[in-house]
Each structure stands twice: as structure tokens, then as C-alpha cells.
Amino acid sequence: MAADDLARADPLPRVITWLGAHPLMVAELGGVDRVGLVNKPPYPRIRITDPPGDDRDLRWLLAPVVQIEAYGDLDGSPGKAQLRWLLYLALGVLKELPEQETPAAGPVITEVESLLGGSWQPEPNGQPRYLAQVRVYCHPVPA
């Protein structure tokens, strides 16, 4: 295994790109640039994070956890039911990712498995948020 293989197997860029460009997500979120690493307007928005995980067993095939968060605005819009809908839509769209062509930079994503789904957890400031976690099985593109 090359020294940079594990770094090239990071699934976050592919997850963000796939969700942010998927026609269903763009339509339901109300536009482009509503999927990313930070919680910022406009809302609704999908935030992708990498929660603490267990990386003790580093091999060719990795299975990092990715957290998906559906945020609404502080005024409560678009509503709890719509945020749940957006979260589950994102999970469904992510299940399509292993079937997509792998870009030259990779990583190869072989499976997306749900771990925690549909948990209502508003931010401390009251901002509405639903979250879920998936395990993304992936490996770098073979050299």
C-alpha cells in the first residue's frame, strides 16, 4: 500500500459532489450550492461532516462514517416534515453512488450503508436539524 492510498480513499469529496449535483437534490433544495461542509444560508441545506470514528484498522478497503445533516432556517422553515423528507432523499441518492462511474482521482465507492437514520436534533440555538449517518465502503483507485 502506498503512503497516500488512505488519503486518496477519502469519500467526503465524492459524497458532496454527488449530492450537490444530483437533479433531485438540486430541485428539492431549491438550487445549487446547498450541499457542503458548513452550515450557512441559504436554507434548506445539506451539511456533510465526518463524525469521530474508529480508524484503528487502516487497510485498502476503508469504511468511514459520514454524517448527513438537513438544516432549516432559524425561523423554522421549511418545517420538520420537509427536513425529514430532504434527509431521506439524500440517503436514497447516496445509495446510488456505488453504481456511478469512478472519477480518475477516486475513490472507488463500493457500498453505502445506513447506520443512524432520521434523528431530530435541533442545534442549541433552535435551528431545525435532522441528521443521519452512513458508512461508506471505499478504496483508492488502483495505481
68 contacts: CB under 8 Å, gap ≥ 6: 46, 47, 48, 87, 90, 91, 94, 131, 132, 133, 134
pLDDT in tens, 112-123: 999 888 899 999
β-bridge partners, 130: 70, 120
pTM above 0.85, yes or no: yes
Q: Do the Cβ atoms of 16 and 35 come closer than 8 Å? A: yes
Instruction: Give the span between the Cα atoms of 14 and 97, in whole angstroms.
Output: 9
| 140 alpha carbon, distance to own chain's centre | 18
Q: Do the Cβ atoms of 97 and 134 come closer than 8 Å? A: no
pLDDT in tens, 46-65: 999 988 766 656 667 788 89
Q: Which residue has the cell 448527513?
A: 68
Indicate the domain borders of the chain.
1-50+70-99
Instruction: Give the span between the Cα atoms of 90 and 111, in whole angstroms.
Output: 15
